[in-house]
Structure 1
């Protein structure tokens, strides 16, 4: 299934994308509740003039760093090697669910940064509750996949990282996380080798494959669930694909830029950059 959250003159509802149109699934609740309920589809009523929103308001967001190519590109610009620990530990930081926006929404440019950057990521949505999940069973906990544009204020990030507390205002502002356009359920998508591409104003800035994740989603789930319960509706990000950010190219977003992130089998997440401080 290709699941969406849409609005058409009323409150947001869960729908399906079928043949390029939105159909309602007959569920009275949001996407997280739909996942918790076992994804029950009780109808397929076409919805004219539906507008897509972010496919879900995540219960939580964990973002990892799994692409060695991105690490080499980003750290190489700083003259730094990849830490040995990176190869052993799938570390993550936590994002803020209330910052999420969806496809076609304008990307807010916070007034305090001059270097706004995009980050192309594949995201897995958790579908089952679990704790201390063995790696060999972890994929059974994935409900589906979507695209995540994890925006960054790079000049702010450079000031914050030496403190050792992880990203804060480099990552957290209204609209700093974009998800969409849909969730493709895990039974319909093999995420082991998906082409990932980012375009800015129609020009390809970078592309990679999910096959190049050093830590796979099974590793991420097993690590995050150590002594901690994970729940349906949580989002796990792959981290930035190689070439998936402007930082790696020393190219930066500008007001009005159209950013398109495409992942094979999922679709295109499209957003335009707003005015700085707007």
Structure 2
């Protein structure tokens, strides 16, 4: 089942199920999160109800992120190739702790964008980057879950892009906090949520055989596979739920697939070959059954200083 949140011509937000290339509205549902929270019965009932509704041309609506304002977003760093390549390029060894803990940070739920929405460069930044990821959306609440239990709490998967302003990120992390402001301006995901049953036949490695690719202005930049995860989604969710409670709609993002960002590519192949993003650039990230994030980059707003001569 593929499920999208969208805004119709009247401005109202709705939930739709994809059938035959069209969106079929779920009657009475304005938020996907309201269809979560159980063993999947609500989603199955929604699919049956939507099948009785007329189809809508997706070109006539604005596709939103499947959960437009998630309760929380945890972004992990679960692909070994990205960690190793980035570390070597920076002249640093991989911290052994990475092999012991599936580490993550929290990012900004209020900065979520739909998969086809424009993305602004953050004020004061000259180094906007994309990061190709896959995210699990939590379907049932739970705490202190085992990896096996955690898998049963996933409603589905969605393509995720963590937009990163690398110069802001590098500056603020010198004090030992973050990433924060460098990751604060935008996260895009969608265009739909694919329920977990659709992935059973794709099981491979610690995840699924799903190709993840990225291009800028039609030029291929990135190519990887979700099956290359070092930390499984079950393990990530197990750690995320330790000592706390995950709730329906929480987003668990995988972190960047190998070659899946400009930071990694430019460190290895040079900044001339892989420059950071600028106004007018078009970024397209694809994930097979997960669809595509296709975003135009826009000029950022001017910096409003908080002190005279402030640089950032």
Q: How would you bin the TM-score normalised by the shorter chain?
A: over 0.9
| Contact kept? 1:32, 1:59, Cα under 8 Å | no
Alignment of 1:7-86 (within 5 A): 7-10=7-10, 11-36=12-37, 38-39=42-43, 40-41=45-46, 42-44=49-51, 45=53, 46-48=55-57, 49-56=60-67, 57-86=69-98
Measured after TM superposition, the shift of residue 84 of structure 1 is: 0.1
Measured after TM superposition, the shift of residue 20 of structure 1 is: 1.5
| Contact kept? 2:16, 2:50, Cα under 8 Å | no
CA RMSD in angstroms comes to: 1.4
Match of 1:264 in 2: 288
Among candidates 226, 240, 244, match of residue 224 of structure 1: 240
From the CA coordinates, give the structure whose radius of gyration is larger.
2
Runs of 4+ in 1 over 4 A off after TM superposition: none
**Partner-residue secondary structure (3-state), 2:24:** strand
1: CA distance, partners of 2:234 / 2:50: 33
Measured after TM superposition, the shift of residue 94 of structure 1 is: 0.6
2: CA distance, partners of 1:27 / 1:73: 48
Aligned residue pairs, count? 276
Q: Deviations over 1:8-36 (max 9, x none)?
A: 12311000122221110213331111223
Could you state the TM-score of these two structures normalised by the residue count of structure 1? 0.95
Structure with the bigger percentage of strand: 1
Q: Deviations over 1:19-63 (max 9, x none)?
A: 221110213331111223632312332224222111112111000
Among candidates 222, 235, 240, match of residue 256 of structure 2: 240
Worse-matched range after superposition: 105-114 or 185-194: 185-194
Match of 2:199 in 1: 189
Alignment of 1:139-154 (within 5 A): 139-154=151-166
| Contact kept? 1:122, 1:147, Cα under 8 Å | yes
Which sections of structure 2, spanning at least 5 residues, go unmatched? 201-206, 267-273, 303-312
Structure with the bigger percentage of helix: 2
Among candidates 190, 210, 224, match of residue 180 of structure 1: 190
2: CA distance, partners of 1:67 / 1:43: 37
**Partner-residue secondary structure (3-state), 1:188:** helix
